[in-house]
């Protein structure tokens, strides 16, 4: 059990109601960007686009335009949900032979315990870069439902980038954790390190005035705001990106960008307890959540609050699902890996909702910066098993299998959008939050503060805040360990959600996330640094 915090310390996040729109994000600056767009008359989708690009500036190690993800959109006037899937793809010219196995039983040191590749080329460096999808996904959603112009919704991100990245304690911590890999790329070292090796570190008392310059990123975002997604997928931004990646030895080509398309998909509709949960239908954890909920409906009989039988059911269905997923889909992410993804949720004053998860994959992605764009690049190639002949083996032109699980749910007069970051920990968190809200009718605040388990590995991780009877029941049936919720690293996933009922809208984020927060339309101002 972690002893990082006083046993008498209590941490809570306040959840407020409003009749205006709400954005819940892992970073306060990103939430403020979305709320400002709502205040300017934007739709929930406008706010989601603004939040997406602002998050890429405020926490660039988690996500950004060079990543991928998926969005579940709910339209209140149509009572309809849709999915935009903008996952990454491997480049068409990728050669699996360029990733020779290290041999000797070595295992990758990053998120996935694949057989190690020589020099970790599938995890870090330009050969790890996959075709990014965020810009295409956001553009598709905005074209369908945006009310403000593309330039208007990207302006908050431009403003944040022009001000630079504040060197607060959390930024310094993140850089320190990846410094030895960032030092391998001269452009990443120049941006994040001093003298090419020492993490840039700000004085905690003056972090707002101690910043990392993001000048080139600001110029790229401004160009993207003016010219649209075409500047990225085949235009000047894309050509610059490709030149940078190829110069560093990667396979990304301009044709990969020209051929990339975000996909509109019908969500998988899961009937549950008289309500419905809309999940992403493929290449994500959405189908896994659907199977888990189908079993939960028969295994638990809700009454009062979640009890020992409830948590035993949670553990059983998740353990069984991961056994199937690992054997059939090649999804083998190490559950001990840190959260390195971004999730945010939006509801506007009309009840339209967005649940969005986006990622670079690892923290700092490939640990490579494109100097011509000023942005960190993804390491999506790491999603593939480098050993041939497996369900998810590395190959050219393949879609990446993600653990993301954004959802929109409706039940008993309430609607909610939620999701989480945290790799394999995402599915357990989302399933339990859905159960808390639907099976037990908890408020959003109580659901987010309620203790959870993580069952994404053979050892069930138990929050010691759970009642002793629950802990004992799990301990009797499963290998287990206790793990407190801490601000770093996360033993559990990092969720963010919004909820709408007859009294208005509200939002909440993971209580231990130091920068996660909600922002409200009524109090929004154009974001500043």
> Which of the pair, 108 or 259, is modelled with greater confidence?
259
Residue 331: what pLDDT?
A: 46
Checking if the pLDDT of 141 tops 50, the result is yes
Q: Could you tell me the two tokens for 338?
A: 């840190």
Q: Give the pLDDT confidence of 104-139 residue by residue, as tens digits.
A: 888 887 677 789 999 999 999 999 999 999 999 999
Backbone angle region of 196, left / alpha / beta, with phi > 0 → left and psi within -120 to 50 → alpha: left
> Which of the pair, 519 or 195, is modelled with greater confidence?
519
Residue 526: what pLDDT?
A: 59
- Between 279-288, 403-412, 517-526, the lowest mean confidence (pLDDT) is in 517-526
Residue 196: what pLDDT?
A: 84
Q: How far apart are the first and last CA of the chain?
A: 38
> Which of the pair, 75 or 457, is modelled with greater confidence?
75
**Three-class SS string for 392-455?**
CECCCCCECCCCCCCEEEEECCEEEEEEEECHHHHHHHHHHHHHHHHCCCCCHHHHHHCCCEEC
With CA atoms as reference, report the closest residue to 191 among 222, 165, 209, 212.
212
Residue with tokens 């993301």: 404
Tell how far CA 95 is from the center of its chain: 28
pLDDT-derived band at 231 (thresholds 50, 70, 90) equals very high
Q: How far apart are CA 223 and CA 240, in angstroms?
A: 13
Q: Could you tell me the two tokens for 160?
A: 């944040």
Is domain 17-164+213-523 classified as CATH 3.40.390.10? no
Checking if the pLDDT of 73 tops 80, the result is yes
Checking if the pLDDT of 9 tops 80, the result is no
Q: How far apart are CA 437 and CA 296, in angstroms?
A: 14
Of all residues in the chain, what percent carry a pLDDT higher than 70? 92
Q: How far apart are CA 491 and CA 476, in angstroms?
A: 21
Q: Say what the alpha-carbon torsion angle 29, 30, 32, 33 is, to the nearest 10 degrees.
A: 120
What is the arithmetic mean of pLDDT over 394-416?
95
Q: How many CB atoms lie within 10 A of CB 370?
A: 27
Averaged confidence pLDDT in the chain: 92
Residue 176: what pLDDT?
A: 93
Beta strand extents in 76-181 (DSSP E only): 80-86, 165-166
With CA atoms as reference, report the closest residue to 32 among 259, 344, 434.
344
Checking if the pLDDT of 243 tops 60, the result is yes
Q: How far apart are CA 499 and CA 446, in angstroms?
A: 12
What is the arithmetic mean of pLDDT over 29-40?
97
pLDDT-derived band at 206 (thresholds 50, 70, 90) equals low
Q: Give the pLDDT confidence of 323-381 residue by residue, as tens digits.
A: 876 655 444 444 444 456 899 999 999 999 999 999 999 999 999 999 999 999 999 99
């Amino acid at each position: 059990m972690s002893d990082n915090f006083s046993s008498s310390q209590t941490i809570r996040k306040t959840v407020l109601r409003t009749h205006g729109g709400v954005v819940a994000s892992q970073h306060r600056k990103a939430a403020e960007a979305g709320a400002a767009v709502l205040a300017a008359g934007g739709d929930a989708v406008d706010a989601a686009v603004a939040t997406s690009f602002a998050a890429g500036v405020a926490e660039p190690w988690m996500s950004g335009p060079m990543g991928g993800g998926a969005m579940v959109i709910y339209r209140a006037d149509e009572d309809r949900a849709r999915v935009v899937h903008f996952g990454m793809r491997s480049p068409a010219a990728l050669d699996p032979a360029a990733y020779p196995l290290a041999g000797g039983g070595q295992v990758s040191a990053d998120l996935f315990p694949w057989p190690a590749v020589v020099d970790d080329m599938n995890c870090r460096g330009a050969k790890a870069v996959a075709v990014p999808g965020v810009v295409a996904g956001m553009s598709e959603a905005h074209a369908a439902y945006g009310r403000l112009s593309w330039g208007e919704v990207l302006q908050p991100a431009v403003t944040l980038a022009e001000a630079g990245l504040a060197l607060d304690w959390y930024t310094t911590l993140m850089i320190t954790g990846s410094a030895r890999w960032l030092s391998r790329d001269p452009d990443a070292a120049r941006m994040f390190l001093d003298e090419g090796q020492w993490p840039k570190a700000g004085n905690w008392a003056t972090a707002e005035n101690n910043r990392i310059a993001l000048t080139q990123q600001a110029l790229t975002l401004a160009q993207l705001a003016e010219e649209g997604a075409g500047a990225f997928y085949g235009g000047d931004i894309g050509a610059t990106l490709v030149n940078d990646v190829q110069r560093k030895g990667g396979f990304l080509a301009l044709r990969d960008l020209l051929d990339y398309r975000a996909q509109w998909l019908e969500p998988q509709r899961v009937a549950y307890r008289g309500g419905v949960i809309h999940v992403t239908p493929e290449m994500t954890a959405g189908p896994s959540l659907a199977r888990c909920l189908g079993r939960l409906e028969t295994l638990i009989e809700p009454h009062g609050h979640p009890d020992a039988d409830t948590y035993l059911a949670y553990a059983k269905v998740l353990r069984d699902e991961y056994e199937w997923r690992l054997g059939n889909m090649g999804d083998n992410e190490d559950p001990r890996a840190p959260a390195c993804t971004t999730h945010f949720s939006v509801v506007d004053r009309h009840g339209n909702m967005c649940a969005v998860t986006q990622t670079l994959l690892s923290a700092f992605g490939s640990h490579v910066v494109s100097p011509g764009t000023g942005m960190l690049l993804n390491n999506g190639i790491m999603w593939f098993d480098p050993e041939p002949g497996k369900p998810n083996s590395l190959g050219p032109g393949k879609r990446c299998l993600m653990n993301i699980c954004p959802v929109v749910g409706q039940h008993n007069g309430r609607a909610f959008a939620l999701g989480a970051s945290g790799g394999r920990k995402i599915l357990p968190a989302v399933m339990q939050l859905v159960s808390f809200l639907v099976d037990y009718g908890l408020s959003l605040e109580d659901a987010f503060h309620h203790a959870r388990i993580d069952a994404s590995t053979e050892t069930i991780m138990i929050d010691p805040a759970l009642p002793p009877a629950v802990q004992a029941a799990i301990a009797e049936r499963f290998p287990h360990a206790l793990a407190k919720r801490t601000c770093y690293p996360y033993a559990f996933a990092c969720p963010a959600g919004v909820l709408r009922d007859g009294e208005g809208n509200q939002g909440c984020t993971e209580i231990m996330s130091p920068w996660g927060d909600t922002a409200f339309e009524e109090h929004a101002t154009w974001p500043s640094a």
